[in-house]
Amino acid sequence: MEHHASYNERENRRSHFQNNGPGPGHSQEQPRKPRSGQPRLKAIEFGVQRNNTFLAEYSKDLAQSASYLTFENDKRMLRAILWSVDEHDYSSIFSVGVSAQSVEWVGIGHDGADSYMLLHLNYHPNFEQTDSATGSYRNFLRRVRLSRLDQEHGRVAPYTSRSMKLVFHEDSPTIPTESTCSEAGLPNPELDPKVHFDNNRHAYSQENIEAVEGWLRGGSLPWEVAFQCEALFRNGLLIPKEVMLLRTQVERVARESPARACQALKTLRNELKAGVKHPLSGFEDEGVITLFQAHIAMATQEPARHPQRLASTFICHYVNVTPTAVFLDGPYIEPSNLVIRRYPGFDSHFIRVNMKDEGEGKIRFKSEDDLPDSTKTWISRVLKTEGIALGNRRYKLLGYRFSGLRDSNGFFSSEFLYEGVSITPDFIRASLGEFPRSVIQCPARYGARMAQAFSATDPSITLSPKDIHHIPDIITDNGEIFSSGCGTISRALADKVWKGWLDKLPDLRRKQRHKDEPTPSAFQMRIGGCKGVVRIDPKLAGEQLHIRPSMKRFEAPDELGFEIIRTSERPDPCFLNRAGVMLLCTNGVDASVFENLMENTLQTIDTVYNKLDGVKSIFTSNRLGGAFQISKHISNLSSLGLELNQRGVQSAGLRKLIETGIYHIKLGLKHRAKIEVPNSYTLVGVCDEEFYLKPREIYVCIRKFDHKTGNTKKEFIKGWVTVSRSSCIHPGHFQRLYAIGEPPADSPFVGEDNHLPNCIVFSSLGPRPVPDMLGGGDLDGDVFNIITLPELIPPLEYSPPAYPPIFLKVISGESTIEDIADFMIDYICNDVVGLIAMNNVAIASTVEDGTRNLDCLANAELHAKAIDFFSTGVSVPFEQVRKPRYTRGRNPATGVGRRPDWQAGRERDPNDGNHYRCESVVGKLYRAVEMSSRNPAREETAQANDYDKSNAIFKALAGHVAKYQSEIKDIYTAAATWVQTLLDHYTTELDDICMSHAIASGLTDRLSEVEIMLGINLDSPDNRILRDRLKLQTEHLVDYVRLKIQGETDDDPYGWLARAWRAYTLTFGIDYEKFGTFSFSWIALGSVFDALRELDPEFLVADEPDKPLFVETAPLSESTQSRLDGYPQSDRENWTWIVEEPRLPPQQQTPEVAALTLSKTTITALKRNGVAQTRDKDITRRTRGATITAIAVGVAEGEEDGEEGDEGGGVVSD
C-alpha cells in the first residue's frame, strides 16, 4: 500500500538530491541523464495542427535537462518526464501523460537535424507534478494534477493541448519507431509527414483572446448565438482571428433569424470536429467565411423544426469543465424538473456544468494522484468564485440532483427578470420551501434535500389540499420503521394522476398507447417537500393521497403538483453482475450454475441470427432500439410470416444492426457478467398495509400488458425465492424469502383491484424491515431483484450486517451555497463507492473464502458509509479502502504484480504478460465469451450483393397496401420530392447526433447509424449520461419524422399510408449504402404498419403465445429439490442464519474500533474469519497475532488498487 510521506521524509529526500545529485554517476555540474534506453527529449511543443501545418503556440526547451519519454505498459500511458533545467532544483518533476487510446494520429520524422514525434489527440493529456523521486517515476510519492505547466503555458493550454510535438535530443539512445508505436498501442505512424512548422504566428496572444471575449461579452448577439460562437473558440476549433472573421456574417444572420444562425454555427462546429483532417487548408484565411456561408445555405433550406416536446424536457446548454479547459456543448433536450418548469421561456438561463477528467471521463481517485488538493483548486474556481461566463451572462451554482452529483455535475443559473421579479440562484433556493435547522446545519443533508427539486420528474396533475392526508408510519417498539418512504393513494386519484400524465404526452406518443392500458399500481412521486412511493389502496374512497412522516423532506405546502419519477407500469428484467456472482458463490451456489446460465445465454444469442422472435426478445430485455421501436417492428415482420433465414429478409443493414446489438450484449456478458436470470424480475418495493404477510413472506404479482392486442397476462410467484438490491456487497444482503403465490381468500390482495401488479410487497412484521436487510434499502423508490431460479437460492445463509448509525457532518451556523459547494468538491474528490465495489470483486476472486474474506467484510461496512456520504457528508478515506493484493509475477522494477485476466478490459490483451488466468468463477465467465475486438458498427458494410435487398419485406407488405391503392395513388405519386426533402433534413440532424455523441473527435470515430438506432455507444457502453442524452435526442428526431409522415392534423389515414409507403419504397432498397437511409426506412416501415392498423384495427392483431427467450434448463438436481423441500414452514416467520452477527449500539464499540470507523460487528467477523474460517494460509499467517487495528486498516505489504468502476454489488436491472 502506498502512504503519504511525512514532512520529514520529503525534506530528507529533497536534501539528498540537493546534496548528492540525482544518483550514482551524476555530478552536480553535469546534466542529468534519462533512464537507460529511454528516448531523451530536447523540447516539447503544443499548438494547433491542421492538415499539413503545425502552429506552435508554446515551446519548452529541455536540452539541458534529463527529460525523457517513457511508456507505462500496464496503464497504456505514454508519458513525457520533464525534469527542471535548474541544476540545483531536484524537488519538482513535471510530466505530460497521454493515454494511448486518446491518440488519433502519429507522425514521426525529421525537422532539420532534429527527430520528432507529432501526436494529435482526441482529448487533452494529463499535466502532473511530483515533489520528489526515488529512482523511477512509478515510485514517486504523489502526483499532483495541474492545469498548466507554467504561466505562459496556462494562457494557451485550454486551446492547444490536443496537438503535441516531442523533439528528441541528439544524444537520445533511441527514437520511437513503427514497432514502438505498435507495442504502445498507438496508431500506425505516418513516416516523414509533409508538415510545415510555424513557430511565429502567436495565434493565441493575449490581445487576440481578449478581442474574441470582448465581442462575445458585449451583448451584440442573442445569447444562444453567442454560445455557439464561443463554442468554436473555447473548443479550439477556430483560432481567435478566424472567429473574428465570422463576426459580420454571424451578426447579419442573427438579426434575420437567430435560430438559423444557431443551426449554421452548430453544424459548422460538427464539421470542424473532424480532427487532424481539417476542412480549412490554412489559418486566418477567407476560407472560414466561405465554409460558414455554406452552412447558412443548408440551414436556410429547412431550419430545424421539431414536434411538441415532452412536458418533462427542456432545451439545455452544456458546459464541460476539465483540469485544463472549458468546453461548450449542445444544446440538447434534457429532462426537466420542478424549478425549470416554474419559469417557462427561460430555459437558456439554466445550464448543466460537468466537472470531468480529460477525455469525457468521470473524475476517479487513483492512489498515485493527489486529487483532493489539485482538483479542489479548479473545481472550486467554478463552483464558488468565478462561476461560468458565457456571452453577456454569468452563471452561478444553483444546485444538483443526486444522479448529477454522482456524475460530478450540477445546475447553474444566471439572473433574469420574470414577471417583474429578479430571479437569482439565491432567490430560487429560498423559494423551494422551509427546511429544519438540523438539515440546514449539515451542508450535505441540506444539498440532498434541495436536490429533490432539481431531480427529473414528469408532471401530472395538481392536487387540492383536501386530497392530502397525513398518516403515521408503521413503527415497532424498538423504533424500526417498516413503511419508510411508502404511502397510499386511492384508486380514483391514481386513475386521475395517470390520465393527467398521458394528457401531457405529445399526441404522437399518446396515440401509440393502447386505450385499455391499465393504471399502474404504484407511483414513485414527489409532491411539495415529500418524496416516496404510493401504492393503490382500494379501501380509500374518492380522491385521497396518504403521506407518511418518513416521506417528508421539507415543508412546501404550496407546491401541490403530483410529479412522477417512475411507475410500476411494467416489470423490469433481472440481470446478474460480477459482484452478485461472487456473493452468491460465497453463499454456497456452485460456480457451475453461473457457467450454465452463461452457456444458455450464449446459445440463445447464437440462434437469433435466424429468428426474428429471438432478436425481439434480447433487444427488448436489453432495452435496445427503443427510439426506433425496433422490437415492435420485428414483431410485426414476424406476424407477417417472415423469418431472418428467409431469402430477401436480411439485408446488409439489418445484419449490421443485429451484429452490433449482439456485440453490445456480449460486451456486458464478458466484462460485467451481465447475465439475464430467467423468470426473474426487478420491481419497486411497497409495504403490507394490512399486516397480513408473515415476517419472511412477500407477495408478488407480475402483469404484462400487450399494447398491440390490449390483452393482459398475470402470474403470481409462489415458493422460496432469493431477493436482493443492486447495492449489495455483503453475503447477508441476499435473503431467502417465501412468495405466497395467488392470494388466498382471506388475503387483502384478493380481487382484480387488489393485486398490486409489478410490485414486491414486503411484510410489516418481524424484528427488522426486510428492505433494510438488503443493503440498507427502504421503500421510497428502491427497486428489488426477485430471483425465482431454484439453483440461485443459496444453501448458506448469513445474517445481514447492522452497522452503527453515522453522525452527520455539521457546521456551527446555517449552511450557505459556499458550504454546499465545499461538500460537492469533497464528494467529487472522495466518492469511493465504485472503487470499493470493484475492489471487492477483485479480492473475492483471488481468495478461497470469497466475499467472507476479512478484507471484503471491512469493505462492506465502508461501502455502506460511502453510499451515505451523499446525505451525511462523512466520506471514507481512500487509505481505509481494502485493496486486492496482486502478488503473482511481481515486476521488481515497478513493484506491480500480474492481475486476473478478467480485469484486462476491452483495450488490453489478457495474454500480454501483465495478467494471469484466473480460475475463479468470474474468470471462467470472462473466458466463456469469445468475441472479436473489432467494432462491427464501425466496420465497412458488406457489399450489396453479399446480402439480399429487403424485397421480401416489401412484397409481404405490398399486398396489404394494395387494398388502398385507389385512395393513396395521387398522394403517393406526388410525395417523392417531399420525401427526399424530409430525408435530407433527417440525415443532417442524424449526422449532428452522431458527431455530438462520439467520444473521439475524429470523423471516422463518430457514432455509426446502427449505434444511434440501438441507443448505444460502443466506445463507452457504460456511460449512462451519454446513453440517456442520446436516447432523448434520437427519440425527438424520430418523433419529428413520424409526425411529418403521419400528418400534423391526423385526419387523413390514407394520406398517412401514402406518405409512409412512398418513404419506405424510396429508401429500403438503398439500405446501408448511403448514410441515414437505412434508419429512415425503418421509421417509414413502422409508419406503414401503424397506418395500416389505423385503417384496419385488426391488422396483424393476434394473441401470440409467449415464446421463451432462454434455452430450457435441465430439471432440478435431487440435492437442490431436496433442499427446497426441506425448508420448514416455520422459516416463513423466522430467520435461521448460519452466521449470526450481533447488532450493537455505537456506545458498545471499543475506542479502538470506533477510531477505525469499522463497527464491532465487522471486527468480530474479521477476527473469526481471519483465523477460524479462512482456508487461505497466507491470510491466516498475515493476521495471526496482529492487532485489531492492523487487521482492520490493512497495512500488509503488497496491496494495490483495483480499477474503479460503477459496478455495484448484488444483482442489477438494466
Q: What percent of the chain has pLDDT over 90?
A: 53
CA 144, CA 126: separation in Å to the nearest integer? Answer: 10
Instruction: Name the least confident of 132-141, 208-217, 273-282, 1122-1131.
Output: 132-141
Closest to 1061 (Cα-Cα) out of 1181, 1196, 957: 957
Cell matching residue 126: 494529463
Question: Residue 6 — very low, low, confident or very high, per pLDDT cuts 50/70/90?
Answer: very low
Residue from 67, 68, 76 nearest 98 by CA: 76
Residue type, 300: T
Q: Are strands 545-547 and 468-470 parallel, antiparallel or unpaired?
A: parallel
Phi then psi for 1198, rounded to 5 degrees? Answer: 95, 5
pLDDT tens-digit series, residues 42-66: 999 999 988 888 999 999 999 888 8
Q: 1017: which 3 cell numbers? A: 455507444
Alpha carbons 739 and 786: distance in angstroms, whole number: 10
Residue 949 clears pLDDT 60, i.e. is over it: no
Segment of 737-746, 1045-1054, 1098-1107, 1114-1123 carrying the highest mean pLDDT = 737-746
Of residues 683 and 644, more confidently modeled: 683
Rounded CA-CA distance 642/954 in Å is: 11
Alpha carbon distance 814, 438 (integer Å):
9
Mean pLDDT of 226-253: 95
Q: Among positive and negative, which fits the CA dihedral 604, 607, 611, 616?
A: positive
**Is a pLDDT exceeding 70 seen at residue 253?**
yes
**Residue 1105 in this model has a pLDDT that exceeds 60:** no
- pLDDT tier, 366 (very low <50, low <70, confident <90, very high otherwise): low
Give dist(CA 1175, CA 750) in Å, integer: 51
Nearest Cα to 732, choosing from 869, 587, 566? 587
Interval 58-107: pLDDT, tens: 999 998 888 899 887 666 789 999 886 554 555 578 899 998 888 989 99
Pick from 406, 1146, 445, 428: which is nearest to 811 by CA?
445
Q: Is 439 helix (H, G, I), strand (E, B) or coil?
A: helix
489 vs 557, more confident:
489
Is the CB of residue 981 less than 8 Å from the CB of residue 302?
A: yes
Q: What is the pLDDT of residue 1050?
A: 64
Question: How many alpha carbons lie under 13 Å from residue 1010 in its C-beta half-sphere?
Answer: 24
Question: Would you list the domain boundaries of the chain?
Answer: 7-198, 205-304
Residue 1139: which pLDDT band, with cuts at 50, 70 and 90? Answer: low
pLDDT digits (tens, 9 = 90+) for 110-122: 988 889 999 999 8
Least confident of 9-23, 807-821, 980-994: 9-23
**Look-up: residue for cell 500506425?**
188
Name the range with the highest mean pLDDT among 211-225, 496-510, 1099-1113: 211-225
DSSP H or E run through 340: helix 338-341
| Mean pLDDT for all residues in the chain | 83
Tell me: pLDDT of 499 over 60: yes
E strand spans, 706-848 = 712-716, 718-724, 735-740, 759-762, 783-787
Of the listed ranges 69-73, 615-619, 918-922, the least confidently predicted one is 69-73
Q: What is the DSSP annotation of 464-514?
A: -GGGEEE----B-TT--BTTTTEEEE-HHHHHHHHHHHHHTS-HHHHHTS-
1074: number of Cβ within 10 Å: 13
pLDDT at 750: 86
pLDDT at 905: 81
Give the model's confidence band at 38: pLDDT under 50 very low, under 70 low, under 90 confident, else very high: confident
Mean pLDDT of 398-405: 91
Considering the chain, what percentage of its residues have pLDDT values greater than 70? 83
Phi and psi at 520, nearest 5°, equal -60, 155
Q: So what's the pLDDT on residue 1149?
A: 36
**If you average pLDDT over residues 275-283, what whole number do you get?**
71
pLDDT digits (tens, 9 = 90+) for 1141-1197: 433 333 333 333 333 345 555 544 444 433 223 233 332 322 333 322 222 222 223
Per the CB < 8 A criterion, the answer to whether 638 and 558 are in contact is no
pLDDT value for 304: 52
Element (H, E) at 214: helix 206-217
Q: What is the pLDDT of residue 1115?
A: 61
What CA–CA distance (Å, rounded) separates 1007 from 1030?
11
Residue 306 pLDDT level (bands cut at 50, 70, 90): low
Over the stretch 414-471, which tens digit does the pLDDT of each residue have?
999 999 999 999 999 999 999 999 999 999 999 999 999 999 999 999 999 999 999 9
* Interior angle at CA 1140, CA 1134 and CA 1145, nearest 5: 100
Q: How confident is the model at residue 134 (pLDDT cuts 50, 70, 90)?
A: very low
| 813 strand-pairing partners | none
Q: What angle do CA 189, 190, 191 make, to 5 degrees?
A: 105
Type of residue found at 290:
T
Q: What is the pLDDT of residue 74?
A: 63
Q: What is the pLDDT of residue 1020?
A: 81
CA distance 511 to 490: 26
| DSSP state letter for 1212 | B
Please list, in sequence order, all residues whose beta carbon lies within 8 angstroms of the beta carbon of residue 683, skipping any fewer than 6 positions away: 568, 571, 572, 700, 758, 759, 760, 783, 784, 786
